[in-house]
Every structure is written in structure tokens, then in C-alpha cells.
A and B are shown apart, each in its own frame.
Chain A
Amino acid sequence: MSKTRYSGFKVFKEALTGHKGWEPTWRDAEPKADGYDVVIVGGGGHGLATAYYLAKNHGITNVAVVEKGWIGGGNVGRNTTIIRSNYLLPGNEPFYEFSMKLWENLEQDLNYNAMVSQRGIMNLIHSDAQRDAFIRRGNGMLFADAGCEFIEAKEVKERYPFLDMDNPRFPIKAALAQPRGGTVRHDAVAWGYARGASDLGVDIIQNCEVTGFNIENGKCLGVQTTKGEIKAGRVGVCVAGSSGRVMAKAGIKLPIESHVLQAFVTEGLKPVMDNVITFGAGHFYCSQSDKGGLVFGGDIDGYNTYAQRGNLPVVEDVCSGGMAIMPMIGRARLLRMWGGVMDMSMDGSPFIDSTEIDELFFNGGWCYGGFKATPASGYCYAHLLATNSPHEVATAYKLDRFRRGAMIDEKGVGAQPNLH
């Protein structure tokens, strides 16, 4: 194992020597016969981050990440790349702010360019009631040291003249911004964590689907996979989107439904927006990628599905949301659209917890907010897997919280997953 350190000097040197010195970013591994201390099921952003922090923070390096496809081929490669920590409730906000702080140092920590861009995120406000609600949220953010900025309509208009300030249904009255929010190059997050974990000794095993769990006397001893049995001291499932299917193999039912969320990108345009703008009332959020495409998304389709594709009515709904606040988007042509499967939980909040089976742990239920949580999710899941106790910012993410009446319902819509 030789770790190539990335730097401007290295790029310069390779440019002069025909790029012959680059090595594979991570080591592709096969399962070890004598098993692992920890097996993580799912090689997405959260799974790879978990492996990285297990090795880095807890010195547990005899770890495998098993992935049914290729790493980063699921939701970490399918989201709209937004990071923010503008939550309201005490169970959530410290966790997401912890994640934001990890994002801020991620590239230095991993020595990997993930294009973390704190370009700011701006939530639009359309009514007095919404203004009150957002000011309350802003206070919640200030309590958690997340920072926020209230922007009056005049300034919103000055900064973003393309917004339709006088839309008859949703006139823009003000905005709540989080200047530290922004976007991150999503694939690079998976690759950066994979590289970091691999360099610390973690085995990343691709094309290895988990087909079952070896459970004896209420204790998980390992996993069965398409590459044979893998013994494990501890198993951490981390497959949001497929949680229902994977946990069913262990006989566990979850407070989760699987739904599809679609995302879109237009053809490349010249720079028009330097931040992330969200239109919560119509559920539309948009940013401009470094290649120039407007990346945007909206609501989930609203019916249970495991298909990574949605239907046309939601395409129309999302695009009309875009037209309502930034009519200029109508001049751009859609280049691509895609879908990802979301674990929609019963209160819109995630789970990082042990299960009723010993040595089997669960991380999931991220709804459509999992990307921004990637570093903290990995950090806290690693803490749980290493110490068997929850990290202090993730104590609320228990699987039994509905039984105890302790739900974390940001939106306040109750046990109706397609409305979160």
C-alpha cells in the first residue's frame, strides 16, 4: 500500500512526466477467509465514511465494506449535492451542524478535492407566517452555532434579479440564508472516503451483494454474499434506499417506506446563480454546477417504489415550481434526469442505532436529506459500532422512538412518509 499524496506540485510533476505516476485511488479487495472485526453493508457515502472513521478515530482497521454494485453508484451519486445545517429541532440541528463542521475540514482531512463550496443557501419566504417560522428556525440555527442571515426582499432582488418577486401565489417577501451552506462534488465524497479508508487498511469489496445474515441465538455472526460467507464480529447495515430489502433478510421490519426522488440538470449555462436557492412552498431547489448546468429537484413521486426512476407528472410539477420563482429556467433545456430510492421514515428523520439482534447495527431512514449528513453519519455510526453507545449528537436517532412517542418530526406531518 503506497499512499500518493495529492497536491498542486504532484499535478504539475505528473503533467510534465506524462501522467505515468498516478496510482489507483483505492485498493479493490476480495473477502478475507478469516473474516473481519466489522463488516459494513453498503459502499455508499455513509458506508465508506463509516469505514474511514472506524479506522481513523477508533483504530479499527480490520474492516470490510461490501457493496452490491460499484461504490458511489447509489444515492451518493444521485443527489443534488447540497449541504446545509438549517434544521430546527434539538434532535437534528446539532447533528447537522456537526456534519457541516466536518465538511469544512473534509478535504484537508482526506487530502482529496471534494470541491466543497460554501456558496451559501437561501430559503425563500412568501408570507408573514412563513417569516415567523423561518425566524424561529434561524434562532434554532444560532443556538447550534450554525449561523444564519435574514435577507429582506429588496436585497434578495438586488442579489438575484432573475427571481419573480411578484408571483401572484408566492410573492417573495424575504429569505433566510445560511452562508456556510453550499454544494459538494458528490462522487468525490465517495471516492475520497474510499481512498482514506483503503489507505488505513479497510477492504472495499465491490460487486458483492449481501444475500443473508448468519444469525444464531439472536446474534449476528456474519453475512452471506454472492462472494461467499464473510465472518464478522459486528455488522453495520448502511444501505439507505434498500434498507427494507436488506433488513428483511434479518427478519427486521422498519418504520420506513421506500420512495423515489427525481433530480434534474439542464444544459451548461454561463454563471447565473452563485448560491443554492430553495423554494420550500413549491418544493423546488436549485444550484448551478461548476460545469454550468442548473441542478434541481423537488418532491418525491409519492408512492412506494424501489425503481430508480420516477414518472412524468412529478417532472412537470418540479419544473412548474422552477418556473414560478425563476421564469428564466424555461429557456434552458433539460439535459438529464434521474431517480434515486429514498428510505422515507415515519417522521422524516434518520436512524443510527443497534437492533434487536446482537452485533447487528442499522443506519438508514435518511429520507431525501442523506447527502449533507454523510460525514456526521459516518462519524456517529463508527462511534456506535466501536463503542456500542451513540455519539452525543446522534442520541435521538433511535429505532424505537415511535414506540416511546419521541419522534423528530421537522415538518409536523406525522406518520405519512410520502409527505415528509
Chain B
Amino acid sequence: MSFPHLHVHSAYSMHYGVTMPEELAEQTAAQGSDFLAVTDRDGLYGAIKHIRACIAAGIRPGLGADLAIHDDEHRPLGRVVVLAHGHTNGRGYAALCRLVSAAHQNGSKKPSVSRERLAFLAGMNSLTVLLGPTSDVGQAIERRDGTEARQRLTAWTRAMPAGSVTLEVICHLAEPGNPGSVTPATRMLSLAENALLPAVLTNAVRYGTPDEALTADIADAARMLTPLAELEDLQTNGQAWLKSGQAMRQVARMVVDAGPREPGAVDQLIRDTEQLAEKCALDGATDIGLGRPRMPEASVIGVTGDPLTELWARGRNGVDERYAGSTLLPDAHRALEHEMRTVEQLGMAGYFLTVAHACDLIRNQGIRIQARGSGVGSVLNYVLHTSSVEPISNGLIWERFLSPERVNLPDIDIDVESAKRHDIYRMLFKEFGSERVTLLSMTNAYRGRGAVRDAGLALGMDDADIKEIAGQMWRFNARQFRQALKQNPELAGLATAVQEDQQLDMLVDLTQRLDRLPRHIAVHPCGVILSDRSLLDRTAVQASGMGLPMSMYDKHDMDPLGLIKLDVLGVRMQSAMAHAVAEHRRLTGETIDLNRVPLDDEPTFELLRSTRTLGVFQLESPGQMELVGKLQPEVFNDLTVEISLFRPGPMQNNMPLQFLQARHGEVAPDYIHERFKPFLQETMGVIVFHEQVMRMFDELTGCGLGKADVLRRRLEKPDELPAIESYVREHANLRGFSDAVVNRAWTVLAGFGAFGFAKAHGAAFALPTYQSAWLKTHHPTVFFAGLLTHDPGMWPKDLILAEARSLGIPILGFDVQTSGLEYRVEETADGIQGIRMALVELNGSSEAERARIAKHQPFDSLQDFRDRVRPKRRTFEALARVGALDSFIGYDRDRRHELLAHIQSLQGSALHIGDDQLALNIELPPLGYEGNRFKAVTSLELRGRTQTDLELRDLNVAVSNHQMSRFHDLFRELGVTPAAKLIDLPGGTDVLIAGVRRATNTPPTRNGIGRVVFLSLDDGSGPVANAVVFGDAQQRIGGKVFRTSYMLIRGKTRRSGARGVSVPVDDMWDLFDVQRKVKARLKAEQRDADAHASAGVHHVEPVAGWHLRAV
């Protein structure tokens, strides 16, 4: 029996509804109903998912929102449900979007919209408002105040357009005297009868099935941040589920029976409900606009005529400009024509012009920009300067990006300088107009830890206990918490506790229930939606954290809704390179155009082959260093291949090894068939790229590249493989391939599905990789200033400083006279360029303090500094300790004790001196009388500490020296091999290595090997040494593998390739323990030596390579 539910909260009513829209739609269809409205609280977050779920389930969708309303004087009028009318050419849906946006307009955490605004938007028969128990009318009824209820209702009918107000009868069959009981429901029905208004029956649904009522209890506790035991507004009972038609008719009968009614009142109530549902049934295409892409209007992107004509003209001019003098010119024109045919057929000219326009805007601001993703395969994008990678010579394919066979909208991702991302957003809003642009949102769902915390909160568990359990909630799916307790050995303790404690047992259930439910909405890190003027009629918006409006829809909703999403990704390396280029220009007046740097620069490849890739985009991890060493890149394409190989899928399937063996001539490349050789040659017969799969499909079947991409995508779905296989076999045989060849080709294709990579993507990554390597090779000083300022990579800054130092770049100390907010390059007295430490590194200093230092430097005197900067005492002392104030003591480090003592003795607050005033110039330290009174001062904070100790304490980095130089005497004593010398040793050499831990990796390993831990150790001799801890050694060494910061390791060298060396670990010690023991031993030996002066003394032969310990 059918019943149309008009008031339903999905799980996108965060912390309120607990069932996903898809489940609600399926349940509705299974119950024999053909209509379902979703009316989430305060938003349309689940709207598109609901509409699509309904279409998939074969039922009609309705859409609304549950909103707080206020009157002209901002007095609350309770909550109402507002439903959009369907078959209005989108007018109802647009009014709903605008209404929800209006509710969020003031940016408050408690959205509310004025009745006046609601009345305006409900005009022209667009919306229906349901006044139910939570409205001011319903609240009066609940208080048994009939007069008030009638007056309130009159206010509504006066304010709203005729026919837009309906009363909503809800009965959850609660005990008499409680909300949700039959009495207020029947009174509501009477009120409608008396006022001659229609009434509808709803169930104010919060969950699909009665079983989920318990989840709603937890949601209430989480929303109110209150344990269930203390919660005052518990749901009355568990009846707010998506009831069947029969169950709803039962409710109707009970409500009608509870008051004096004419016969037929039940049928009337159901009929009115069905009629309203009829009115609110939305059409996906005409009401919501599904499947119809809408680009910004031509005029907005500076096009006056037909966009297609314009694109043709720009494309042709672009080819002539980009390919001027290139042998590829004719090919490029042909490619352009090929691409333009698809663009024309799909009506996408506006899209290309829009994206190109956005890119032009960004570029014209002098911001570095780089397209990535499949769009890089397009000549059109290249000639429009949307992308910077030349697609033809890189063997990229247009059809990987766009083809008539594709059903989705194309996607172009743009990498920009991370530091400029927000500026870019604001610029796009300004250029396109805020009616055409919004940011994209994303829904964060519950995961294990969050779920266990909120479940624990609901049960009123102790914070510390919850924290303890939450700490163990990882590496398994929280929906399978109970199963994980049985299976995972590391959870054995918790499993026992759960068996013994009922509360913990409930916690497991509750956690499983919460997992994966939407939890909160946040701005997407890079998505911007660009559309035409109608955008705000098709998406509701709310303010994002940065103040710009954000759509309530997420990336999955974009494609169905025909919305163009531009991913503007902030990439720190782009900022780092921009900083380097800017520093170079500041110092020399020369401008480096990185996009015009030749891609065949031999010294750059030499650097890459040497594996000194620390700081190079994508290639600086230990694993990448090892692979680049083995691969020995010679041309740009090698970098594309390298980046594409270094990913979990290929690594786990041993593809790098197959490729390397063929590349270095150890085995012959296997192309399966001569006809595959042209596209498999670049990877020595190993299929690495999507583009190769597409070409193989095309060669085997003659299906064309567009269809080949569709087939490639289907490879990811295991149940589609048989159909694809028979298609391939049928056509391949006709095209002259033997069964043996087809068998082998199919094995490769079928096995590839899971881990391919778009070459377009790899090539787009390879470009900044090459550019950063080029900068490191030719302009290392400015490049390191960029790295230190924007910190783009995986390594700690201390190691980046160490790398710079070992390349011979002087690191200039922290100095309030010259240190800026960013790292800058300075020419030293002897004409060498060095990098000046930036102010940001000072621990505990505030942004305002640093800004004042940068603004007022240089300073005449300490007094001047104090008065203008007004540092906190802590900052002031830290500056003195690290030597940033040495300029006030003539850079005489020995006087730092006096300086610090003086600063500590200062009383009272600093004078406030205006920017245009001169400071009082008092000689400091004020030794005016009694001569050298402070001569003997020794600050305890400085005593016995080296400059490095002080720097590590206050800056977290060692500036003047490598922090490991403290240990170099010890290393000599122990016979530790310097990391830089490991490469000279044959494999299998017993070595001791030591250093500070710089990175710990547990990368994906080939199946069956078990977890391997990679440690990167820095001993100050040059590059990091890579130590490998295999399973047995992990057992032996235990927690030290992850916990020791300074360590000594014994192992044997293992060589891999020309530049690859690592040390599998046999044993490991804490370096400080070793230091203590050696000191004790030396002391004892010294005593022995003194006692037996005549006896022979044992000398440890010093190992070459350790610098003399710095003083």
C-alpha cells in the first residue's frame, strides 16, 4: 500500500537523521510507494544524492528543507518544513535553494530565515510550507492553547501567499500527555478543519527502520554534546521511521478517531497528503536541471560572438604560436581539428574558453600555474596555455580527456602556488561574479575514532577511557569493529575488556552504527564551481570558513548537476619555485621563465642520476631516491615513467623491476606483438599508462580511442571483464591477431585494471619535478630559500638546511637586523650568497611580534628594538639566546651572558614609540658605572650549551652547524661509516651507521613480504643513509624502531643499482646511551693508561670522512 512521505530527514541532517538517502529510496520502492521527499534540517546537503537515488529506485523525488523561521522582529516562529513544487520548470527548486541560502545568510551557526522572505519566495505557487508540531502553531497546540494556535495560524495565512500553507499532522503514538501522542495530532487536524486549510499526515522520519531509532538516540547525544542519561530532549519513542502505507493508515485512523469527525476523514487526510506529494514531485531534468551543463555566459569570459568560432580562432592562433618552428606544427593543426570536432559535437566550447579564461587571470597576476590530470593530453589546452606540457611529443591522448563516448563532464585540475590560493578564489569571484561562482564543499563522515568518541559520549563514559580506545581505532573499518576485535591480535586486550564490561560491549555496537554517517560539512580544499547566472537557483550556499560562499553540494553532485568544477590546488612546490624565481630577480634583475627552460639540460639529469634529489618535487622520498638511482633518467619522458611507476599498484606488482631489467638490457623487452611495439617501447614492454591500455584496445579491436577509454574504465569492474574479453577476442581475431597473442594481451589488460596511471598526469607531475631539479642544479641558493620558506616536501627543515650547507651554501644566522618573514638570499662580506634564517622559526614568537621586527629593522640599539618591537619576555630571551641580538654586543658571542642577564633584569614595560619617532638611544648593556660589573655574569641558560644546543631549543633547527657534528668525535671513536661513504663500499660490508632520524616509512611492499620499515638517518656527512628493518629485526629491536631519535645501527650494506645503497639493520642502539658508555670507558681507559703508562695503548683507527668537530 502506497503512502507518500513528505517529511523525511536523511543522514545529511547531520547528527539528526541516520539513514542514507539511497537506503531510504530503496526502502520506499520496496514498500510499494512511488514518492519520497527528503527534507533535511537547515540544508540541501543530500538533495542531489536523494534525487538520483529516487531515479535509480524508480520513484518520484520530492525536496524540501526543515528550517527555523523568524518574524519581522526576529522572534522565533519555530521550525517548519518547506517543500518545493515540481513541474514548474525549476521555479520551485530555485525558490528552495534561495530560501535555504537565505537561512544561512548571516553566517550564524543557527540558520534561520524570515517569514517575509519565505512568503516572497513561495510566490507564484513555488513552495508549500508545512506547519507541524515544531512550528509556533504546533507549539501552542502542544501547550493546549487553542486561541494562541488560531492567532498564530492567522498570522501565517496573512503573511503567506494563498494556498501555500498546509498543516502537518504528526503522531508517533507516544504515551498520552507526551509530545508525539495522538491528542496534539488530532487537535492539529481539527485546527485545519476549522480554518478550512488542508492537512497532511507525515511521520517526521529520522530513520528507515525501527532498529535505527537507537542510532538516532546517539545522534541526539552527539548533537547536544550530552550523555543520554542527562539528555532532556530524548526522542519520545522509536516511531520516527519510514513507515509503510498500512502503518501510516493505522496512524491516520487513530488520529481521526481521537476527535469528533465525519466519516471519511481518514481518506480525506490521506488524499490531501497524496495531492501535495503530486504537487511536489520533481522532474530531474526540467526541475533540477540534471544532465544539462551550464557554462558562464560568453560575455563574462570576454567573448562577443559565437564561442565555437572564438575557440577555433584562438586554437589556430595558439597552435601557430606554441608550435612555431617545430616539426610538430602540421600534427598540431591536425590534432586541433580532431579535438575541435568533439568539442563542437558535445557543445563544450564555452567550457574550454572558461577554463582558459580562469587560467589567464591567474597567470596574469604573475602566479605560477600548472594543469594536471587528463586535460594535459589535449593540444587545445596546451595552445590555450591552460596546460604547459606538450602532448604530442609525450604521446598523450585527447580521448583520455574527452570523447563523445564519455558520459561525464571533463575535469581540469590546476596546480597553483599554495600561498596564493585564497587570492585566486577571491579573484575568480570578482571576475565571474558571485552569482556564478561558489566554492565546493565536502561532507566529512564518521570514521573509527570520531565514532567511538561520540558513542562514548552518549554512554557517558570517562574521557580518558574513550581516548584510550580511540587510540586503537585505526587500520580497520569501524563498521567491522566487533569482527576486528576477534581477529586483530593487537586488539586482544580490548576484546577481553569488551567481554567483561557491558558498557564497552554497547560502545562497540554504537560505534559500528555511527561509522560512515555524515558528520559535518567543510569547504573542499580546492574545488571551485563556475556556472552561469542561474547557479544560485541550482545550489544552496552557505559561508565557508574563509567567508566566501560554499555550495552545499559535493564533488559527486557536480557531474549530474551539469556544474563545471575547477580544481584549483595549492601546491607548495609551486610557491617555493615562485619564491626562488622572485629572489633571483631581486638579486640580479634577471627573470627566469621556468616554462621555457629547455627540457634536455644535461647537468639537471646528472643531478637526478646522482640521487641528490632532496627538495626535488616528487623525487625526494627515500624510495623515489632509490628508484631514480636505479632508473638513471636521461630524458624528460624517463621522469614521467619514474613518477608513474612509483605508486602502490605497480610497486606491489613488481613492475619497476620488470621495467628496469629491460631498460638496463638484463632481459629483452617483451612487446607481445610487433604491432604493440610503437606504444609499449617507451616503457620497455611494461604497461604503465592508461594511454597504453587505450592504444592496445584500439590496436586489438579497432574500436577507436574514445571507446577504448570507455573499455579501460570498465576494466576496473571485475564483473564486466567477461563481456570485454569476448568483445576483444572477437575483433582481435578478425584483425589478424592469433589466439596466443590475444591470450597474453588480455592477461595484461585484465591485470592492469586496478593500478594504471594516466600518462597525462605523470607528465604534468614530471614538469615541476624537472623544473625544481633544474633550479636546484643551477640556482641552488634561491631554490633552497624557496624550499625553506614554503616547506613543500616531506623532510624536516633541519635536514633541508643540512643539505644546503653540504652544497656549500652558507646559512646566515638568525639576526633581528636582517632576518625577514621569509627566507632571503644575502650576499656575505666575501661576496658569497647565503641564506638568511627567517623570523618564523623562532619558537613561541607571535605573528605580530615578527611583523614588528620585519617592519622596524634595522634597529639602532637594544632599547630601540625593545621599544619598537615590544617583544614578550619569552621571545626577547629566546632571541638573545640564539644570537639574534648579537648585533647589539658587536657580534661578540662571549658577551651573550651579559646581554641575557641584562634582558632578564629589565623591569616594567617597553616604551611605546611612534613609528615616526626616534628611540631613546641608551647604551646597552648599561655598564655606565662600577666598570665591568657584569663581566662575571654567567647565565645558567647558556652555560655548557653549544650554539647548536641553543638553536635546537629555540628554533628546532641547527643553523651554524650540523646538529650531528656534536657526535663526530664519537663516530670516529666507534668507527661509524659516514653516510656519504656508503656508496663506495661493496655490498655485504659490515658497517656501523648512525645519525638523527629524519623519516620513517612503511611503504607498500610486494605481496607476501610483510611490513618493512625504512629509516632515513642523517649523520651530517651528506645525503641521508637508508636503513631497512625487516620483520625479524623489528621483533628483535621492538619499539626502538619507531621511538629512538638518535641512533647507532649495525648492519651490512646492500647495493641496488648504480647509485643505490641501503643498510638492512641487524641491531640498533640509542646514540645517547652509547655516548655515555663510551665516555665512561674512555675515562676508565685513561685511568688505566695513567696507571700503566708503560703499557701499549689501543688506538681506534679513525674512519676518514668526519669533519673535525666544530668548536
The answer to whether A and B interact is: no
